[in-house]
């Protein structure tokens, strides 16, 4: 029984649109993995620390007999059903004002919200379900918007490969049931959560992440009434009013090669994860929402986890300012530090370092970081 049939069997129509072949490997990678690879190539020290968090990843770059570089055994990359670019990226996105988008986006619809270099944009899940990647530009700078419907991961990157701004596309492959991207310069494979090239000429390179929120449309447009919104008129014929992933997103199924046995949370619980040098910790959405504020430390780095009441999402910052560690508390619904200074989310964005965090399904975060800690309220 081939994987395409399995995809159809498990996810209904997902094989027609579902999450996303590098030419260097076969579907199971077995043929190319025969024989010994050459001596490994060390990677950047910071990346090496990140690699330690996932036992699937090599500690140094290996080379197959055909010359292909890899950090991840190609046999771990599975076919998601569609071929390369079978789920088409949006490479010339068009936008419209919020009042026009209101005609077709429901208030409770999820969007990816971007606030970057003075530009505010929303990318509706309704569209991203069918495309997964938007190759956008902000003030003539390339910005890569990515979304995996199977894992609920929405992540933005600066798409720099070999020092050049490049476009990305869907590979047709999955790792840990998550989108595997490829870049259109070197044709290398990049698992979305890692943001690291794991197979191909760019292996060992890492993409810088850009803050991106997954929030309800009603919250985003209220906070940002002048937001631009990705248009429904994409140039492709798709039913953007239908969610082909509704069944799988609403079940506990994880599928596509994920070895998931971590029962600390239900597989589809939403968590906000952080990772410092391979040390990871996750915060369940309900815990953050209920506590509003959590002072914590991960890998010795003091952080604070806030619930943003305006956007109804979590925000995480390093709580060190001018060499001093701050401790926050909630007083009369206000964020106050140990020096009695009052803070708002906007002032934190200006003065504190933002920590990369994105809302994941628990199974997806735990699959990439199997040794992750989980905050216990």
Average pLDDT over residues 239-262: 89
Same domain (yes/no): 228, 252: yes
Predicted TM-score (pTM) of the model is: 0.90
Is 265 contained in some domain? no
* CB neighbour class for 164 (10 Å; exposed up to 12, middle 13-18, buried from 19): exposed
pLDDT band at 6 (very low <50, low <70, confident <90, very high): very low
pLDDT value of position 39: 62
Contact 7, 78 (CB under 8 A): no
pLDDT band at 258 (very low <50, low <70, confident <90, very high): confident
Same domain (yes/no): 211, 136: yes
Same domain (yes/no): 187, 159: yes
Domain boundary pick from 259, 292, 312: 259
Same domain (yes/no): 109, 162: yes
Average pLDDT over residues 305-321: 97
pLDDT single digits (tens) 99-114 = 999 999 999 999 999 9
Is 46 contained in some domain? yes
pLDDT band at 38 (very low <50, low <70, confident <90, very high): low
Domain boundary pick from 259, 286, 314: 259
pLDDT value of position 257: 75
Same domain (yes/no): 254, 274: no
Beta-carbon neighbour count of residue 86 at 10 Å?
Answer: 18
Residues 6+ apart with CB under 8 A from 1: none
Classify each residue of 105-139 as buried b or exposed e, where b means 16 or more C-beta atoms within 10 Å of its C-beta: beeebbbbbbbbeebbbbbbbbbbbbbbbbbbebe
Same domain (yes/no): 296, 231: no
β-pair partners for 213: 113
Q: By mean pLDDT, which of 36-40, 147-151, 164-168, 281-285 is the weakest?
A: 36-40
Same domain (yes/no): 305, 240: no
Contact 357, 316 (CB under 8 A): yes
Q: Report how many domains make up the chain.
A: 2
Is 32 contained in some domain? yes
**Owning domain of residue 275:** 270-374
Same domain (yes/no): 182, 228: yes
Same domain (yes/no): 323, 282: yes
Domain boundary pick from 208, 239, 259: 259
Average pLDDT over residues 186-194: 97
Is 264 contained in some domain? no
């Amino acid at each position: 029984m081939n994987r395409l049939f399995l995809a159809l069997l498990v996810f209904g129509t997902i094989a027609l649109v579902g999450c996303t072949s590098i030419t260097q490997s076969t579907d199971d990678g077995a043929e190319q993995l025969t024989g010994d690879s050459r001596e490994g190539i060390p990677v950047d020290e910071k990346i090496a620390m990140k690699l330690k968090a996932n036992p699937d990843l090599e500690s140094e770059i290996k080379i197959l007999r055909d010359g292909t570089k890899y950090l991840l055994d190609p046999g771990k990359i599975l076919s998601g059903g569609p071929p390369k670019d079978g789920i088409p990226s949006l490479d010339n996105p068009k936008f419209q004002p919020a009042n026009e988008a209101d005609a077709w986006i429901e208030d409770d619809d999820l969007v990816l919200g971007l606030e970057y270099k003075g530009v505010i944009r929303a990318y509706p899940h309704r569209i991203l379900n069918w495309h997964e990647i938007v190759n956008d530009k902000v003030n003539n700078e390339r910005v890569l918007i990515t979304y995996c419907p199977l894992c609920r991961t929405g992540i933005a990157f600066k798409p720099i490969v070999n020092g050049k701004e490049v476009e990305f596309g869907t590979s047709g492959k999955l790792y840990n049931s998550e989108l595997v991207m490829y870049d259109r310069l070197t044709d290398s494979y990049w698992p979305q959560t890692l943001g690291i090239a794991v197979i191909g000429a760019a292996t060992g390179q890492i993409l810088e992440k850009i803050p991106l929120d997954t929030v309800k449309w009603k919250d985003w447009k209220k906070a940002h009434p002048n937001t631009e919104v990705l248009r429904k008129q994409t140039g492709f014929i798709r039913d953007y009013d239908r969610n082909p992933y509704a069944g799988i997103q609403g079940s506990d199924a994880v599928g596509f090669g994920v070895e998931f046995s971590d029962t600390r949370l239900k597989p589809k619980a939403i968590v906000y994860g952080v990772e410092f040098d391979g040390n990871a910790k996750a915060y369940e959405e309900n815990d953050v929402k209920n506590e509003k504020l959590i002072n914590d430390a991960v890998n010795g780095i003091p952080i604070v986890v806030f619930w943003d009441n305006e956007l109804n999402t979590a925000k995480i910052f390093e709580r060190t300012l001018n060499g001093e560690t701050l401790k926050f508390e909630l007083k009369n619904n206000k964020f106050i530090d140990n020096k009695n200074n009052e803070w708002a989310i906007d002032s934190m964005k200006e003065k504190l370092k933002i920590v990369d965090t994105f809302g994941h399904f628990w199974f997806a975060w735990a699959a990439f970081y199997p040794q992750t800690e989980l905050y216990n309220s």
